[in-house]
């Protein structure tokens, strides 16, 4: 990636340089950092809404109106003001995966009817708490879960999470594979599916939904794979008999580097129409990343710039413990300066303040001379960052702000 | 690994089966789980003390008495009762890496004189807070840090953290490499060392310590490497001139699987004597894992047992977010049952309750029929578990107990 492409791919109306200054959500980012201090996550409400509207528009354009629903995967970012904002837009429900998430979503204004629930390894106590939320829709992930839920809520509708034993996802990221060659804990495999249906029936449960989450972060090149997996899942739909809805999980990717093209939503929606709506099936989608990832910036203070051997290091005042994706999942958060004068840049490694070799935010960032600059922003920090933050090395302090 | 070795290598007086029941720190583990609930971390004070005493004994036996100090790397586990216990033993000081850690150590009873401080990417504000703790010993990690500390604390003694550009560590774990072929953010490299000394001198700082942390988790087979790296570091000691003390970081490994042999402490201590004490140098050691890792158990509730394709899954009521080592660092926490009757075991995968493919505690554990058992314990969970815990998926709840 050269300097030009490093600075071109991510700029948009709500996040761009204007007269050399970085602006986000209509604010000069320098003013935000001066006011809030660092490290701070800032989230753009209007970008979140744009992302949701873009999904709705693509789905409607593909003639899916009335035949789909969007459930925001709240594990991506559960910042309470953000959840309440989402509720108020009326543009999505919630995908929750723990009793704590259900309680939190309800505390932010969602009702149990807005929530579909999919998780694995639920305890008896978890299930009892969930059963208190009348209206929540449960996707059972194992035969065991069907038994437990059947006892608590007989004669209700449920979903079954199935595992098509086929995976999709960004190549070379085996840390994000839910399904594929290796047997995983997720879902019910084909060979046990008839048993699952029999257990459901024994409690009078109606299997009205089939859920299959097949991977993470797919972009346009992976759509063909997605369609192949979807086709494979009709076996489950047909065996179940009374299915009204199919949930294809989340997984819609966002670009992380200049060479990533945004997901072609029209192609994606056309697949959903062809596979589901055309057969009278409602389709449920659980985006997380797609809604919030590019709506978040992480504002950091520069601590030092120093050359060590052949590498220039830029230190910042927070580490991978408050944003684990770059370190743990190899998904980069590109650093960008608050001021960019199209001056010649050079390559620098942006590193955090944790005593661990993993704590590299970005290797080989194209950055200008930072002598007179005291901050950096990391883009794409809106998902799986604060939500997965730890207090490792007692460096867990950060602030979060929802910007309207 | 066969069933026999799976159950043999980790048993010791304070953690073993007695009449088929697992005992830890003199308690029946079933009683602990019944009382505390799950997930709970339990730590054995006497095992922590044993680990410290073993180190002291080995160092004394190698004629190092009076010429070394142990600084516990508190980032491994900062549970307050554990820190206060450590203070009271008088067997170690503290290695801290953030202002928050310094404040916390002091809140638990340590004095600034007990604390040596080594970190990277410190902010100006960090350094100001640290300077308030008179007596803390600062190891500077960059030229920038020497400048900053020199301004705040001129004419004091400091350490310099150097990077010998040589790595040591468990093979195939590139996530834990601090030093080696790739230039890292850690320490001052040889080519800038004379500059570093000049900067120190300009503030009247006396470089009385050289710090080099060369890796993590080394066991006996890596001792030869360790000695080679140590030898390499004398270049720094000689150039600095007035060095009184050398800090070799932490890195002492503990066995994680049956095939790991415990570190031969006598060989290790002999190296330290030969390299340092024999030359009149004090040696500082910063163990973390070695002190607390095998002193901790994580008690978990079983949620389900179910075969999926050819794999039997045992679900438990907590996920990798409260103990990231297995998922992120490939360092297994072996699961063991509360009751073990030497009955035939079979292989099972122990998985958590987080909606992520990474959330596997242990693949291919040898476990007995668990129909009548409701819990599992994970061994080696005393370090970098609770300390790195996150509330991912709002599954961050756990308890901790120090057992005397």
Q: Which string of DSSP letters, residue by residue, matches B127-146?
A: HHHHHTSTT-EEEE-SHHHH
Task: Tell me the nearest-neighbour CA distance from B12 into chain A, angstroms.
Answer: 30
E-strand spans in B235-337?
A: 245-247, 282-285, 296-308, 311-316, 335-337
Q: Do A390 and B394 touch (CB under 8 A)?
A: no
Q: Which residues of A touch B97 (CB under 8 A)?
A: 354-355, 393
Element (H, E) at A6: helix A3-8
Q: pLDDT at position A172, please?
A: 42
Backbone angles phi, psi at A147, to 5 degrees: -55, -50
Termini Cα distance of chain B:
33
Q: Give me the interface pTM, i.e. the ipTM.
A: 0.94
Q: Are B22 and B10 in contact (CB under 8 A)?
A: no
Specify the domain boundaries for CATH 3.20.20.10 within chain B. Answer: 67-287
Dihedral angle, C-alpha A53, A58, A59, A60, nearest 10 °: 90
Q: pLDDT at position A177, please?
A: 57
Domain A67-287 falls under CATH 3.20.20.10: yes
Q: Which two tokens stand for residue B50?
A: 């044993």
Q: pLDDT at position A153, please?
A: 97
Q: Is B191 on the interface with A (CB under 8 A)?
A: yes
Q: pLDDT at position B171, please?
A: 44
Task: Tell me the nearest-neighbour CA distance from A172 into chain B, angstroms.
Answer: 14
Q: Is B316 on the interface with A (CB under 8 A)?
A: yes
Q: Which of B122, B349, B360 sits opposite A303 (nearest CB)?
A: B122
Q: pLDDT at position A178, please?
A: 57
* DSSP assignment of A146-197: HHHHHHHSTT-EEEEEB--S--EESTT-GGG-SSSSS--SSSB-HHHHHHHH
Contacts of B342 (CB under 8 A, 6+ apart): B20
Distance from the Cα of residue B331 to its chain's centroid: 12
Superfamily of domain A3-44+294-403: Lyase, Ornithine Decarboxylase; Chain A, domain 1 (2.40.37.10)
Distance from the Cα of residue B307 to its chain's centroid: 35
3-state secondary structure of B352: coil
Q: pLDDT at position A191, please?
A: 94
3-state secondary structure of A50: helix
Q: How far apart are CA A195 and CA A193, in angstroms?
A: 5
DSSP code, position B258 = T
CB contacts < 8 A, A to B, total 182
pLDDT digits (tens, 9 = 90+) for A248-289: 998 899 999 999 999 999 999 999 999 998 899 999 999 999
Q: Which of A183, A309, A328 sits opposite B183 (nearest CB)?
A: A309
Contacts of A97 (CB under 8 A, 6+ apart): A75, A117, A118, A119, B354, B355, B393
Q: How far apart are CA A98 and CA A118, in angstroms?
A: 8
Q: Do A178 and B357 touch (CB under 8 A)?
A: yes
Show which of residues 216-255 on chain B sit within 8 Å of chain A, judged by CB atoms.
none
Q: Are A77 and A91 in contact (CB under 8 A)?
A: no
Q: Do A304 and B395 touch (CB under 8 A)?
A: no
E-strand spans in B74-171?
A: 93-96, 115-118, 137-140, 157-161, 168-169
Task: Tell me the nearest-neighbour CA distance from A148 into chain B, angstroms.
Answer: 10
Q: How far apart are CA B309 and CA A188, in angstroms?
A: 9
Q: Is the peptide bond before A70 cis (omega within 30 degrees of 0)?
A: no
Q: Which residues of B touch A385 (CB under 8 A)?
A: none
Neighbours of A191 (CB within 10 A): 12
3-state secondary structure of B200: helix
Q: What is the mean pLDDT of residues A17-38?
A: 98
H-type alpha helices, B251-396: 265-275, 289-292, 325-329
Q: Report the candidate in B313, B404, B399 with the shortest Cα–Cα distance to residue B353.
A: B313
- In percent, how much of chain A has pLDDT > 70? 96
Q: pLDDT at position A169, please?
A: 54
Q: Do B177 and A321 touch (CB under 8 A)?
A: no
Interface with chain A: mutation pick from B185, B314, B320, B331, highest number of A CBs within 10 Å: B185
- Burial of residue B105 (CB within 10 Å: 0-12, 13-18, 19+) is buried
Q: Are B159 and B138 in contact (CB under 8 A)?
A: yes
Q: How far apart are CA A240 and CA A237, in angstroms?
A: 5
Q: Is B371 on the interface with A (CB under 8 A)?
A: no
Q: Is A186 on the interface with B (CB under 8 A)?
A: yes
Q: Which of B191, B313, B355 sits opposite A97 (nearest CB)?
A: B355
> Per-residue confidence of chain B (404 residues) as pLDDT tens digits?
899 999 999 999 999 999 999 999 999 999 999 999 999 999 999 999 999 999 999 999 999 999 999 999 999 999 999 999 999 999 999 999 999 999 999 999 999 999 999 999 999 999 999 999 999 999 999 999 999 999 999 999 999 999 988 766 554 455 665 556 788 999 999 999 999 999 999 999 999 999 998 778 899 999 999 998 898 889 999 999 999 999 999 889 999 999 999 999 999 999 999 999 889 999 999 999 999 999 999 999 999 999 999 999 999 999 999 999 999 989 999 999 999 987 799 999 999 999 998 999 999 999 999 999 999 999 999 999 999 999 999 999 999 999 99
Show which of residues 46-65 on chain B sit within 8 Å of chain A, judged by CB atoms.
none
Q: Is B189 on the interface with A (CB under 8 A)?
A: yes
Q: pLDDT at position A232, please?
A: 86
DSSP code, position A387 = G
Rg from Cα positions in chain A:
22
With b for 16 or more beta-carbon neighbours within 10 A and e for fewer, the A64-103 pattern comes to beebbbbbbbbbbbbbeebbebbbeeebbbbbbbbbbbbb
Backbone angles phi, psi at A212, to 5 degrees: -145, 120
Q: What separation in angstroms does the CA of B374 have from each of A120, B34, B40?
A: 17, 10, 14
Q: Which of A78, A191, A390 sits opposite B388 (nearest CB)?
A: A390
Q: Which of B97, B124, B175 sits opposite A355 (nearest CB)?
A: B97
B126: closest chain A residue by CA:
A317
Q: pLDDT at position B167, please?
A: 66
Q: pLDDT at position A365, please?
A: 97
Please tell me the pTM assigned to this model. 0.95
Q: How far apart are CA A190 and CA A236, in angstroms?
A: 8
Show which of residues 288-307 on chain B sit within 8 Å of chain A, judged by CB atoms.
301, 303-306
Q: Do A353 and B123 touch (CB under 8 A)?
A: yes
Specify the domain boundaries for CATH 2.40.37.10 within chain A. Answer: 3-44+294-403
pLDDT digits (tens, 9 = 90+) for A222-247: 999 999 889 888 999 999 999 999 99
pLDDT digits (tens, 9 = 90+) for A155-191: 999 999 999 887 665 544 556 655 567 899 999 999 9
Neighbours of B215 (CB within 10 A): 25
B300, β-bridge pairs: B376
3-state secondary structure B16-72: EEECCEEEECCEEHHHHHHHHCCCEEEEEHHHHHHHHHHHHHHHHHCCCCCCEEEEE
Q: Which residues of A touch B183 (CB under 8 A)?
A: 308-311
Backbone angles phi, psi at B306, to 5 degrees: -155, 135
């Amino acid at each position: 990636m050269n300097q030009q492409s490093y600075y071109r791919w991510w700029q948009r109306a709500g996040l761009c340089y204007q007269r050399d200054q970085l602006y986000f959500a209509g604010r000069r980012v320098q003013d935000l950092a001066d006011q809030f201090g660092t490290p701070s996550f800032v989230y753009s409400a209007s970008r979140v809404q744009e992302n949701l509207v873009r999904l709705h528009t693509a789905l409607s354009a593909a003639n899916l109106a009335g035949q789909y629903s969007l459930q925001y995967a709240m594990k991506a970012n559960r910042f309470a003001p953000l959840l309440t904002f989402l509720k108020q837009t009326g543009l999505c429900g919630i995908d929750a995966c723990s009793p704590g998430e259900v309680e939190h979503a309800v505390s932010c204004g969602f009702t149990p009817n807005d929530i579909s629930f999919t998780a694995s390894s639920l305890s008896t106590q978890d299930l009892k708490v969930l059963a208190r939320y009348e209206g929540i829709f449960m996707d059972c992930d194992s035969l065991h879960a069907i038994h437990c839920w059947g006892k608590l809520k007989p004669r209700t509708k449920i979903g079954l999470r199935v595992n098509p034993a086929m995976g999709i996802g960004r190549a070379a990221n085996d840390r994000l594979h839910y399904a594929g060659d290796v047997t995983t804990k997720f879902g019910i495999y084909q060979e046990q599916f008839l048993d699952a249906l029999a257990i459901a029936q024994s409690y009078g449960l109606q299997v009205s939904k089939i859920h299959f989450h097949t991977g993470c972060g797919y972009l346009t090149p992976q759509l063909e794979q997605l369609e192949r997996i979807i086709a494979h899942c009709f076996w489950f739909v047909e065996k179940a008999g009374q299915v009204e809805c199919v949930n294809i999980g989340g997984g819609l990717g966002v670009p992380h580097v200049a060479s990533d093209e945004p997901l072609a939503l029209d192609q994606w929606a056309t697949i959903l129409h062809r596979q589901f709506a055309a057969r009278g099936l409602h389709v449920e989608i659980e985006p997380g990343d797609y809604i919030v990832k590019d709506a978040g910036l992480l504002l950091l203070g520069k601590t030092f710039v120093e050359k060590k051997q052949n590498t220039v290091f830029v230190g910042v005042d927070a580490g991978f413990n408050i944003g684990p994706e770059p370190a743990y999942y190899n998904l980069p958060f590109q650093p960008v300066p608050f001021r960019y004068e199209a001056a010649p840049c050079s390559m620098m490694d942006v590193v955090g303040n944790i005593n661990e070799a993993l704590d590299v935010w970005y290797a080989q960032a194209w950055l200008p001379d930072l002598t007179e600059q005291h901050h950096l922003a990391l883009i794409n920090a809106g998902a799986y960052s604060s939500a997965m933050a730890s207090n490792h090395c007692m460096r867990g302090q950060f602030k979060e702000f929802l910007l309207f």
